[in-house]
Amino acid sequence: MPPRDSVNLESLSIHLPNGLGPSAFNLSPPPACPITLNISMRLIASSIRDTAEGDSMSGLGVNYSVVCKQIYALAACPGRNWSGPWELMWELSRIPLSLPDVEDVTVEVVMPKALLHADSAVYRAVYTKQTDAGSSMNAAKAGVETQSKGPDSEENNTTRRCEIRDLKTECIIGLHPHERSEKQRLELDISVEGVDWKEWKHKEFADAVYDFVTMSAYGTIESLIHALGSHLFELPILRNSHNNSRNKNTYYQPSISITIRKPSAIPYAVPSITIQRTAADYPSGSASASASAPASAPDLRYSEGRKRVFIAVGSNIGDRVANIHRAIKELESSGCEIVGTSRLYESEPMYVEDQDRFINGAIELYTSLEPLELLRLLKRTEKSVGRKKTFTNGPRVIDLDLIFYGDEQIMIGERGDKPDEDGVGWLECPHRSLGEREFVLRPLADIAPNLVHPSLRQTNHQLLSRLPSTSPPPLQPIIPFSGPSKPLRLSSPAIPYVMAIFNATPDSFSDGDSSRTDPEQAIKAVEKLFADENRSPDILDIGGMSTRPNSDPCTEEEEVNRVIPLIQAIRSSPNPRLRTVAISIDTYRASVARLAVQAGANCINDVRGGSEPGMLEVMAETNVPVVLMHSKGDSKTMTSAQMTDYSSYEGGVVEGVRTELREMVDRALKKGVKRWNIILDPGLGFAKTQQDNVVLLKSIRELIEGADSPLKGYPMLVGGSRKGFVGKIISRQIASERSFGDAALNSYAVHTGVVDVLRVHQVGEAKDAINMSVAIRDA
């Protein structure tokens, strides 16, 4: 609102004989309670001037004494029972809004006895006059009474706010040993806007904050405040962007502000940290998926009667990734809605060690099945995928374990009860040994780090952090290739795998050759890449259309004819290394990607990050790893001033790429692309200036692992090989003469420890640079 003169009433103390909504102890009926009112009446432009000219009681535009008495009489009326703050505030606002000189009214109700652990709950709202029948100003000057919308009007939703002030709690917080020896006091202020106020309960919300912070044990306030924000957006009041119980066409965009003070941190001051967050700030969690739902369609995941459930998945026999995918597909066909996945991890077997490594992950789903019905479905799915009973903790084609069923603790039957025909004997949820099982906790922490265990009263993140650390870690994330290829196990710090560029094109900027469009010639060129087993690529990236700046796209038919026969020839090659190598299709066309996967490719590398029509749907449908590359525009416009402008981002190109990659990830997850399949590429050379490319490369670690980075946990691919910016720096116009520049780029990427895949033209040389760089880095 533009600034305007105002008349204000502050600290108006009122005793409400019949209370105001629920009490701190949930007493019914609520006891009498005190409140403090703060009211600001914004005036029309001429009000103060007109009053000054009259300078008399009769000339007052707003007689604040009269307004104060009327408000007090209405609020404290012994016969009134206020259902809650919004009804009281709306009724009070009508008193000043009836005055011709008042344009709008801000009402704030401070409730000092509303909460046990906080100083007060504070409600604030802005009310304006109706303008349905024309200008409220003209109506007021004509003597017509004007009123705001009713207390439950959704039009006022965005003008309402509730704040929990000075919530006091104690927890372990700090990095130094003396700070972790005993609990310290923290003070919090939390304000909430944009929720369904008919469902809002300040006591439940404040209790959720208190419980989470009390059970936390973070080293820094930064970690605590970020985790608290993420946890709050998993609460139903903030998670549900669509109101299922009332107005089906009403959508909410919740936002929160959190301040945490640590009074004991330093002797002569009280430090604090404040953040403002929306659901979009937590894309790795499920809250972001609901927040990004289009306004044209309700989010059906939250329909009544459905439970939020977490399932642990594992396999160590056969094509382990394919087994997991098949099990998920069968659960979906049985009515379960998959809404989130973790990364996939490879781990050594526990308890019985004489068996192959497991691949483990976690999925989040919604179901209307009761716990025992769901367990039966899981057992039937295991049998359908091919699991046969062996022995306890033995090898298995698929393992599906019910980890969390809402926030319930469930015990049906007794441990050791004889299983029935479905394999169900008893059910304990959550499992009593969950707190010691990293192969379950680590995947859970990917998708629900702040979900609180119903009996241990600790979050998944906290339970995971309490496990002993080992080197190397017992679980390593993977790029989940399947089919004839094997998953690639990632390390930390990263030792990059090599993706070989193979352009089956006549016009690529560095290696275009018309002979490569002939499948027979192309397969011979591919075979040369695998002549030396120690210097052959881990992934083969096949492209049938040049995407260099200013290139002209070939037709879809040409692209298909260049890549599909070549992929088929590689998959039928007598050379076992060719038959089993991971093949990536470098395309932004959905139809080409689908045909390539059908022909044997098991990765989609999209320079446009899934922005072309139908591509995200194909990525979800084919269920293969995908590379989402950051880029803007097309081959003709990517170098324009508009596409290379990141000045709107406070952090320049690094923050711009981080934000836009996060948006790509959000769109992909919403379309059903699994988190464990996503690989990110910052897009060196695409829609960046010369300086941008260098800054972005230097900041790769910050991009992926910076404080609160929404990209943390996703594998990173870097492809700078023979790019134009390398040629400019080392003064080499001919692309094939840029190998020393490439070696330096690749070595720096290794040094960062966060680059998992390097996309290169010269495979052997790149592997040499990687090996040498790793030896120096890890010495």
* Four-residue CA torsion sign, 750, 755, 759, 764: positive
H-helix segments, 699-738: 700-705, 724-730
Tokens of 425: 């004997």
Name the architecture of domain 492-778.
Answer: Alpha-Beta Barrel (3.20)
- pLDDT per position as a tens digit, 551-606: 788 899 999 999 999 999 999 999 999 999 999 999 999 999 999 999 999 999 99
pLDDT beyond 60 at 143: no
pLDDT-derived band at 286 (thresholds 50, 70, 90) equals very low
Q: Within 13 A of 130's CA, how many CA atoms are on the CB side?
A: 12
pLDDT-derived band at 149 (thresholds 50, 70, 90) equals low
User: If you search the block for the tokens 């972005």, which residue do you land on?
Assistant: 696
The CB density around residue 720, as the number of other CB atoms within 10 Å, is 24
Query: What mean pLDDT is predicted for residues 119-141?
Result: 65
Assess contact for 569 and 578: CB atoms under 8 A: no
Query: b/e for 126-159, b at 16 or more Cβ within 10 A?
Result: bbbbeeeeeebbebbeeeeebebeebeebebbee
Q: Three-state secondary structure along 271-293?
A: CEEEEEEEHHHCCCCHHHHHHCC
Query: What mean pLDDT is predicted for residues 66-94?
Result: 92
pLDDT beyond 70 at 685: yes
User: How far apart, in whole angstroms, are the C-alpha atoms of residue 336 and residue 376?
Assistant: 13
User: What pLDDT score does 516 carry?
Assistant: 72
Query: By C-alpha distance, which of 88, 124, 105 is closest to 41?
Result: 105
End-to-end CA distance of the chain: 61
User: What pLDDT score does 250 carry?
Assistant: 56
User: What pLDDT score does 355 carry?
Assistant: 66
User: How far apart, in whole angstroms, are the C-alpha atoms of residue 557 and residue 622?
Assistant: 21
3-state helix, strand, coil in the chain (%, to 5): 35, 20, 45
Which are the catalytic amino acids? 723, 759
The rounded percent of the chain whose pLDDT value lies above 90 is 60
pLDDT-derived band at 296 (thresholds 50, 70, 90) equals very low
User: How far apart, in whole angstroms, are the C-alpha atoms of residue 778 and residue 90?
Assistant: 66
Angle between helices 739-752 and 690-698 (to 10 degrees): 40
Helix (H) / strand (E) element for 339: namely: strand 337-341
- pLDDT per position as a tens digit, 464-487: 988 888 777 889 999 999 989 999
CA distances, 501 to each of 226, 519, 543 (Å): 40, 16, 8
User: What pLDDT score does 486 carry?
Assistant: 95
- pLDDT per position as a tens digit, 331-367: 999 999 999 999 999 987 765 665 688 999 999 999 9
Query: What mean pLDDT is predicted for residues 72-82?
Result: 90
User: How far apart, in whole angstroms, are the C-alpha atoms of residue 220 and residue 242?
Assistant: 34
Looking at the domain 173-184+194-282, which fold is it? GTP Cyclohydrolase I, domain 2 (3.30.1130)
Query: b/e for 555-581, b at 16 or more Cβ within 10 A?
Result: eeeebbbbbbbbbbbbbebeeeebebb
User: How far apart, in whole angstroms, are the C-alpha atoms of residue 536 and residue 538?
Assistant: 7
pLDDT-derived band at 181 (thresholds 50, 70, 90) equals confident
* 1-129 matches 308-476 in fold: no
Contacts of residue 558, defined as CB under 8 A and 6 or more positions apart, other chains included, come to 544, 545
Query: What mean pLDDT is predicted for residues 286-301?
Result: 32
pLDDT beyond 50 at 284: no
User: How far apart, in whole angstroms, are the C-alpha atoms of residue 346 and residue 352?
Assistant: 16
User: What pLDDT score does 512 carry?
Assistant: 53
Name the phi and psi angles at 525, rounded to 5: -65, -35
Helix (H) / strand (E) element for 210: namely: helix 202-215
* Most confident of the following: 23-37, 172-186, 570-584: 570-584
- pLDDT per position as a tens digit, 437-455: 899 999 999 999 888 888 8
User: How far apart, in whole angstroms, are the C-alpha atoms of residue 189 and residue 187?
Assistant: 7
Strand partners, 259: 189, 274
User: How far apart, in whole angstroms, are the C-alpha atoms of residue 511 and residue 739?
Assistant: 13
Query: What mean pLDDT is predicted for residues 28-47?
Result: 90
User: What pLDDT score does 378 carry?
Assistant: 94
User: What pLDDT score does 743 carry?
Assistant: 97
Q: Say if pTM beats, i.e. exceeds, 0.85.
A: no
Query: By C-alpha distance, which of 591, 588, 632 is closest to 610?
Result: 588
pLDDT-derived band at 151 (thresholds 50, 70, 90) equals low
Tokens of 283: 């894309």
CA distances, 282 to each of 205, 278, 647 (Å): 19, 8, 24
DSSP 618: H
The rounded percent of the chain whose pLDDT value lies above 70 is 88
pLDDT beyond 90 at 750: yes
* Four-residue CA torsion sign, 583, 585, 591, 596: negative
DSSP 44: P
Query: What mean pLDDT is predicted for residues 358-382?
Result: 94
User: How far apart, in whole angstroms, are the C-alpha atoms of residue 372 and residue 429?
Assistant: 11
* Preceding omega of 472 cis (within 30 degrees of 0): yes
Q: What is the residue type of 547?
A: T
pLDDT beyond 60 at 752: yes
- pLDDT per position as a tens digit, 541-554: 999 988 777 778 88
The CB density around residue 393, as the number of other CB atoms within 10 Å, is 12
CATH code, residues 308-476: 3.30.70.560
Between 395 and 64, residue with greater pLDDT: 64
pLDDT-derived band at 130 (thresholds 50, 70, 90) equals low
The CB density around residue 4, as the number of other CB atoms within 10 Å, is 13
Looking at the domain 1-129, which fold is it? GTP Cyclohydrolase I, domain 2 (3.30.1130)
What is the DSSP secondary-structure string of 498-543?
EEEEEE--S--TTT--GGGGSHHHHHHHHHHHTSSGGG--SEEEEE
User: What pLDDT score does 289 carry?
Assistant: 34
Q: Locate the domains of the chain by residue range.
A: 1-129, 173-184+194-282, 308-476, 492-778
